[in-house]
Amino acid sequence: MSAVMELLLLLPLVLLALEAPLCHGACVEVDSDTEAVISDGFKLGCIYCKMRGEVDATATVKWSFKGSGDSDFSDLYIYEDARGEIIDPRFYERLAWNGSKHTTDLQDGSIYILNVTYNDTGTYKCKFSRTLKYSNYDYEKTIEKNITINVVARLTRGMASILSEVMMYVSIIGLQFWLLVEMIYCYRKISAAGEEALRESAEEYLAIASESKDNRAGAQVAE
């Protein structure tokens, strides 16, 4: 009986663990990397999270590029209505969409450069235009993010980058430990509540049985 009760008490925790990977992660605006390696691929990150998840929206992402020897920005790439177009001929067959897929409600407007060259050094501008569709009106908002890329022969990591990665792993381990403690605490609390309920049921059953026995004994004496 005890083993069955433990299995029943563990069932909600097992279901929670199975459902966890199915949950959608929250949107987090992370800055793009700024150092690309020659001949490698490189992701230009541009994330603009939607704060009102319940509101329908559409978004367009437009990228511009100003090379190290250019005086002004030139159109590079546009993604609209789930379709992308390379505008700058310098990036033909070297640029791919790396953002939100199968939706017009974009939150990730990242692109990916293939076979990086030294000519790709410069400043990239990401223009994110979003239209929130409320019941009575549309609300439009546009943000711009500039990313300065330096192309190097070999990737170098600064102390700040190393410390940032270490802190990320420490945070992940700390969060996992905290979740484990919470699960153990909840299991013990549910287990204690289940045992208390079983004790109360047993005491109630014994009280009823005792009362029934007394009633039968009284009836026999009366006869």
Mean pLDDT by 10 residues, the chain (223 residues): 45 44 61 91 93 88 94 96 95 95 94 96 96 93 95 74 75 85 83 73 64 57 53
* 126 domain residue, yes or no: yes
Both 106 and 33 in a single domain? Answer: yes
Both 102 and 177 in a single domain? Answer: no
Both 148 and 192 in a single domain? Answer: no
The per-residue pLDDT for 40 is 94
The per-residue pLDDT for 21 is 39
Residues in the chain: 223
Among 155, 184, 201, which residue terminates a domain?
155
Query: What distance in Å separates the CA atoms of residue 84 and residue 30, rounded to the nearest whole number?
Result: 22
Residue type, 205: Y
Both 97 and 163 in a single domain? Answer: no
For residue 100, give the CATH number of its domain. 2.60.40.10
Query: What distance in Å separates the CA atoms of residue 199 and residue 208, rounded to the nearest whole number?
Result: 14
* 15 domain residue, yes or no: no
Give me the number of domains the chain comprises: 2
Q: Which residue has the tokens 């704060």?
A: 51
Among 137, 155, 173, which residue terminates a domain?
155
Range of the domain at 187: 157-213
**DSSP string spanning 204-218?**
HHHHHHHHHHHHHHH
Tokens of 115: 């076979």
**CB neighbour burial string for 40-67, b if at least 16 within 10 angstroms, e if fewer:** eebebbbbbebeeeeeebbbbbbbbbbe
